[in-house]
Chain A
Amino acid sequence: MNVIRKIVVPTLAASLIATSAIGALAENVKIGNIIPLSGPSATVGQQGKAAREMAIEEINAAGGIQSLGGAKLELLYADSESKPEKGVAEAERLINTEKVNVLTGCWNSAVTYPTTAVAERYGIPFVVPVSVSDKITDQGFKTVFRIAAKDSWWTRDQFSFLQDMEKEFGTKVEKLAFVYENGDWGKGFAGQWKELAEKAGYQVVLDEPYPSTATDLSPVVQKIRRSRADVLMLVSNAADAILLTNTLAEYKVDLKAIITSGGGHADPSFLKAAGNSARYLFDIVEWETDVNKPGAKEANEKYNAINGQNLTGEAVDAYVAMYVIKDALERAGSLDPAKIREALAATDMTSGPGMIVGYDAIKFDATGQNENASLVMVQVNDIGNGLERITIWPKSARRAGYTPVFPMAKK
């Protein structure tokens, strides 16, 4: 009996106090976040959590949501463990039990896809910072808003970039060579490249898949050399990216540009292992720490001071998502899900502390996709500080004072 009194009574009292505390701050806006906090994608989930917290802290410190009487934002987390069924169950719980006003998540496209259906059923707005699968915004849902670029836009942006470069430097590109790892990823990219090349009137002189486990890529490099292509486009994993880059330099393959697709070319050890052979190549990424946007550098420094690492593309999307929600709430002036949804749909965010992405405005199209979302192209070059990745495209995000090298200079 004593034991029960000792444990149960204080616990009850504590929970009563807690409940009343929440009651007193009832105007808090609850944001439910379903992200992978454990399991195979945990590192990305943790980055997303840290970025969200950084944004919320800033928003609350700046006075919360003015139109809701200074209401504070409150984050609730649910761990998806990267499992679709877990994501769905947590969405139900967050909506029914926790009564969240907005949902965000889930990073893994496979989780986001079924989870957004739950939100749609209850009419709760669901902001997807980043989950790249095209089909998430192709469901005809009214409550889904995605900030990051979708899958098919990576290849689209590689081509827009190439065309912009041609215009900017007055160099004509005619012949393209596609060389890609022989997996889903590489083949998917190559399929889209072929369509885009046809549409843009380029001639494809080489279309070559290769096994990522290859121990000698000089035969492939020979084919590239003999194809006399102007521009080489690559999809590679890490080991083959290094091998290809070095072998291309050895055979002195004469190209105007090499455009790569992240992955192996974005691997932290790539620059070190490929060294000068990697110079001048162009890589596509979601975000780079040097994007020329007000606040980007400061946000990265702040994030780095707290978490000991630089902001990643995923973290930036999560960070920006909080500001998008804040902006919508401000305009909605209500916690009614339908009003919040309407406000989100009317989003047109061009400035403010959250806008550290590489493009100029966040605006959702009818499917809920951020129609301006674009990727960033970087060039590997040494401008006195050793080899580094320098943001060059879109032009508005280009690092101040840097002129891209196009066509590629001889090494």
Chain B
Amino acid sequence: MLFIIEDSINGILMGSIYGLTAMGLTIIFGVLKVINFAHGSMLMVGMYVTYWVVVLTGVNPYLAIFIVAPVMFLFGYYLQDIVIKPIFIAEKNVREPITVIIVTTGIWYILDNLVLLVFGPQYRSLPENPLRGQMLQFADMFVSVPKLYGFIISIITASAIYWFFQKTTMGRAIRATSMDREAASLMGINQFKVYNIAFGIGAATAGIAAVTLVPFNNVFPTVGVLFDIKGFIIVVLGGLGSIGGALIGGIIIGLIESVGPQFMTATWTEAIVYGLFLVVLFVKPSGLFGQKNDW
């Protein structure tokens, strides 16, 4: 019994971090209607930014959020503005421009290889990291401190984004654009500015997710790919475009991954995760919290 509680706690903590890595993906999809294949790479870039900020300034890894999130916001903002916007303009009459998906795939390859070229294939983790290996211990139960921080940051981030979308003018403009971009444009909303900001927010959440991962994970050029695939499953599970859905979807995956191996070999939990993915696609394609009707 104690084992199950211990594993469930680990699953919920790790799962919330998975949810955070997928949150940017769901935001960008919700607004731009585009699957951003470069999302894992943005996470990877965020991890490198975090790594270097911490190594060069020596700040507490979690304080790096205040540098990493703005940097990543600008990165996403201009990535959309310079690279993706021209394609949108060229295909403005297409509702779900396929070429944008291809461009994001291109960005993924370019970012991964650029980082490989600049920083090399080495695996890095924070040296002299005071958080690494920190554990809370209750009797025979262990709870990882960096994961606990990750959980708290995930909840705060999700709440903040939710508040931003509900309460601010910009948030409303983003939601309006995601519902009907023609109508939103007619109401005087600058569609491309909204896209830039949505992409920026997506990248910033990837940056925040990166900050939560760096204290206990490795940084290397293809690290994004590992989280990418999980991100897609989480987003479909939770419902495309739903922020709370991403968090819940992440926690479900985390629980399966953490509790499952106690009853079977770890390789089988992957099969369960993918099986669940298929079941959701068959039974409830809009996901747990997605809207049934496409706008």
Contact = CB atoms under 8 A, between A and B. Distances in A.
Contacts of B227: 215
B162 interface: no
Interface string B259-292: 1111001110110000000000000000000000
A1 B54 CA distance: 74
Interface string A209-227: 1110111101110110010
A251 interface: yes
B218 interface: yes
Interface in B43-57: none
A243 interface: yes
B165 interface: no
Contact of B257 (A219, A226, A242): A219
B14 interface: yes
Interface stretch (B2-10, B28-36, B67-75): B2-10
A294 interface: no
B188 interface: no
B175 interface: no
B266 A270 contact: no
A268 B262 CA distance: 33
B142 interface: yes
B161 to A, nearest CB: 23
B265 A208 contact: yes
A269 interface: yes
Contact of B258 (A209, A216, A252): A216
Contacts of B260: 219
Contact of B266 (A208, A239, A250, A251): A208
B181 interface: no
A191 B258 CA distance: 26
B172 to A, nearest CB: 35
B199 interface: no
Given A216-B257, A243-B217, A273 B124 contact: yes
Given A216-B14, A223-B262, A211 B270 contact: yes
Contact of B7 (A222, A250, A267, A269): A222
Contacts, number: 99
A220 B216 contact: no
Contacts of B226: 213-215, 239
A277 interface: yes
B39 interface: no
A205 to B, nearest CB: 14
A182 interface: yes
Contacts of A219: 7, 10, 257-262, 266, 269
Interface string A259-291: 000000001111011110100000000000000
B80 to A, nearest CB: 27
A269 B122 CA distance: 6
Contact of B6 (A220, A222, A238, A252): A222
B266 A273 contact: no
Contacts of A251: 135, 142
B124 A269 contact: yes
Given A182-B267, A211-B267, A215-B226, A246 B132 contact: yes
20 contacts: A216-B10, A216-B254, A218-B10, A219-B257, A219-B260, A219-B262, A222-B3, A222-B7, A222-B10, A222-B262, A223-B261, A239-B123, A239-B223, A242-B123, A246-B132, A246-B216, A250-B133, A250-B134, A250-B142, A272-B124
Given A213-B225, A250-B144, 15 more contacts: A208-B261, A208-B265, A211-B267, A211-B270, A214-B266, A218-B10, A219-B257, A223-B266, A246-B125, A250-B133, A250-B142, A273-B122, A273-B125, A273-B218, A274-B125
